[in-house]
Structure 1
Amino acid sequence: MEKKTTTVNLTEEEFVHPGNRACSGCGLSIVYRMGLKALGKNTILVVPPSCLTVLQGLYPVASSKLPVVNVTFASTGAAATGVRGAMKALKKTDVNVVAWAGDGGTSDIGIQALSGACERGEDIIYICYDNEAYMNTGVQRSGTTPQGVLTTTTPIKGKLQKKKDVPSIIAAHGIGYVATASAAFPLDFYDKVKKATTLPGPKYIHVHTPCPPGWSFESRYTIKIGKLAVQTGLFDLYEIENGQFRLTGASEKLIGQKRKPVTDYFATQGRFKSLDKELVAGVQEQIDAKWANY
């Protein structure tokens, strides 16, 4: 059995400074801090335009203590490939090359470069923090915005299309490691990032990341809302390692247990206020069918 990280044995070393430019209650600030703890000092980050570029700030007042390469929206996977190639040329085989992008820069604008890197088998880690819209530029809908969600580009009835399942798309490439995680369960995320540093080839981690201003909730409820997404079975924590799927952490504990209704999750956020009863019932049916298979 794999040893799980706890608050007792979690490393105390920090790779972000105490201050940053994130919004109050930002789920990404939790994910970023924990992810860098797992990655360690021998890491180079590749980041496209996103909330993370705002959180990190600009030299010489950046919040990150690690080297960061800021790249264009569409090029993250390709740029990370180039950084890995440079490390190989310098014979620095112990450096983690980590692409870290939002859902818009992953599921939409950057998916071709990510797909290419996976198909080629590049030895990189790709982390997508999914706050389910283009938050940095004003809350426009993205491919991973759930159906019915109000955004500035879907302002009346919400988004008409269903959320894009990016982890499944990446898993279809046949890479060795795909995982999901949540900002509300940071130790589960830490362990998955730590594992990714030990594996060869492409590794992809998709992190559900609550956003107070974009999702319209009070900043003190970030963890509560993130946990509800998992407790209702709407967002699942899992790993696909060498083709083998398994639920992890809080999701694994839900097997055979009664889940909270998805309405508990929807009621916490203003972005869902336009949902009609038929759509909510349909989402609940989809969750129930999924968990019946589990």
Structure 2
Amino acid sequence: MVDRTIENFDCGHRACGGCGASSAVRMILKGAGENTIVVSPTGCLEVFSTPYPETAWKTPWIHSLFENASAVASGIEASLKKQGRLDKEKILVIGGDGATVDIGMLCISGAFERGHDFTYVCYDNEAYMNTGIQRSGATPYDADTTTSPSGACSTGNNRPKKDLPQILVAHGSPYVATATMAYPMDLMRKVEKAMNTPGPCYIQVHAPCCTGWGFDGSKTMEIGRMAVECGLWPCYEMVDGKLTSVKKVKRVPVDEYLKAQKRFRHLFKPARNDAEVAKIQAIADANAAKYGIDIA
């Protein structure tokens, strides 16, 4: 059992007030425990946590390129194995959705296919927030971004969210999970479990972004819980390809979750777009059917 009183991600960094990613990372490191080496690709986390000559990291940390964090982690793992230190030190990659589901996917696929022993955690704020709120492969359907703007001819992003957890299940990962910073104990437990499971493990963490999504920074935890409660973010675990646990909820319609964010306001103003809201509701319903999240 790890000591969760230890703080390996320090205060004083430069994240936005109410940043879901910074809160998620603090919880992730509490779950990972001591003797953890962290690899982070380019992204919001790298920028706000390490403005030279400062750092918020109190554990060994290395910055990689946008695309190659998993390759760097693979090299660290090989080195520790050669030195006989892999049983004493663990490797953790923490990257955003852009570096994970898009730019870094090739290296992730290769590392998981080769069976390297590290845990990859994606803090998913559902767009390229650091470079101007551009659409990523993890951006949800109908969300307004600077590269999928809503307007007279568009209702925002017209592509479904890429399901990387299931892609890595298909790679044979021994442990894949989804979590959210809105449920800290669940997130920390899953990270601890992944870190102690041999082989390449993956966790995708919902990390609401007040700046990019358009909500008050005091509402971050509330927004995170709403995503789970409406079914748009199912929290589950899969061990050796089998669904082993899921957070059950008494589901509510997606409307209130969408209304709480400026990135979806075009669906309700000047009038409610019933057809598009119904499509998003159908996504939540499909999640409920696939993972069995409804409380009977």
TM-score w.r.t. the length of structure 2 is 0.91
Structure 2 partner of 1:105: 99
- Identity value in percent: 44
Give the CA RMSD over aligned residues.
1.6
1:91 aligns to what? 84
The residue number in structure 2 matching 1:186 is: 184
Aligned residues of 1:231 and 1:260 also touching (Cα < 8 A): yes
- Is the contact between residue 232 and residue 287 of structure 2 (CA under 8 Å) also seen in structure 1? no
Partner residue of 2:33 out of 33, 40, 62: 40
Aligned counterparts of 2:97 and 2:56: Cα–Cα separation in 1: 22
State whether residues 101 and 164 of structure 2, in contact with CA within 8 Å, keep that contact through their aligned partners in structure 1: yes
Q: 2:255 matched to which residue of 1?
A: 263
The answer for the alignment partner of 1:64 in structure 2 is 57
Per-residue CA distance 1:44-78 (angstroms, 9 max, x = gap): 11111011102321454201101111111111111
1:150 and 2:137 matched: no
For 1:106, give the aligned amino acid: T
**Measured at CA, do residues 40 and 10 of structure 1 come closer, stay the same or move farther in structure 2, by a change above 3 Å?**
closer
Distance 1:289 1:71 in 2: 36
Q: Which amino acid aligns with 2:203?
A: I
Which one of the candidate residues 187, 193, 196 is aligned to 1:195?
A: 193
TM-fit CA distance, 1:246: 3.2
Unpaired segments of 5 or more residues in structure 2? Answer: 268-272
Q: CA deviation at 1:262?
A: 0.5
- Matching residue of 2:288: 291
SS of alignment partner, residue 266 of structure 2: coil
Q: Name the CA shift for 1:11/1:81 in 2 (closer, same or farther; >3 Å).
A: same
**Mapped partners of 1:103, 1:190: distance in 2:** 19
Q: Which moved more, 1:31-40 or 1:110-119?
A: 31-40
Residue 190 of structure 1 deviates from its aligned partner by 0.1
273-282 vs 107-116, which deviates more?
273-282
What SS does the aligned partner of 2:68 have?
helix
Q: Which runs of 5+ in 1 are unaligned?
A: none
Aligned to 2:270: none
TM-score by length of 1: 0.92
Q: Tell whether the 8 Å contact from 2:4 to 2:33 is kept in structure 1 after alignment.
A: no
User: Aligned partners of 1:229, 1:241: CA distance in 2, in Å?
Assistant: 24
Note the alpha carbon deviations across 1:7-60, whole angstroms, 9 max, x for none.
xx9721111222111111001111111111121220111111011102321454
* Contact 2:178–2:204, Cα closer than 8 Å, also in 1: yes
Q: 1:281 aligns with which of 264, 271, 278?
A: 278
Q: 1:237 aligns with which of 227, 235, 238?
A: 235
Contact 1:236/1:247 (8 A) holds in 2 = no
Q: Deviations over 1:219-262 (max 9, x none)?
A: 000000000000011110000011220343xx22x2xx4x1100
Query: Partners in 1 of 2:244 and 2:33 — Cα distance?
Result: 26
Aligned residue pairs total 281
**Amino acid in the other structure paired with 1:70:** H
Distance, in Å, in 1 between the alignment partners of 2:289 and 2:31 is 34
Residue number in structure 2 paired with 1:126: 120
SS in 2 for 1:128: strand
Q: Match for residue 159 of structure 1? A: 157
Q: CA deviation at 1:288?
A: 2.2
Q: Tell me, in whole angstroms, the C-alpha distance in 2 between the residues paired with 1:170 and 1:117.
A: 11
Choose 281-290 or 200-209, whichever is displaced more: 281-290
